[in-house]
Amino acid sequence: EDVMLVCETDKAVDLPEEISNFGIWKQKTYGISKVTVYVR
């Protein structure tokens, strides 16, 4: 089963490359925010 986790943070926040069994698939900055998408 595919699972996607979407995190919105301040653009200055650096999230880890992996969280549990999730790895970063995409990152995009929008103004002062950053969206990070993890997939498993």
Number of domains present in the structure of the chain: 1
- The counts of H helices and E strands in the chain are 0, 4
Residue 35, pLDDT score: 99
Strands 18-19 and 4-10, sheet pairing: unpaired
Q: Are the C-beta atoms of residues 36 and 27 closer than 8 Å to each other?
A: yes
| Residue range of the domain that includes 23 | 4-39
pLDDT digits (tens, 9 = 90+) for 1-40: 899 999 999 999 999 999 999 999 999 999 999 999 999 9
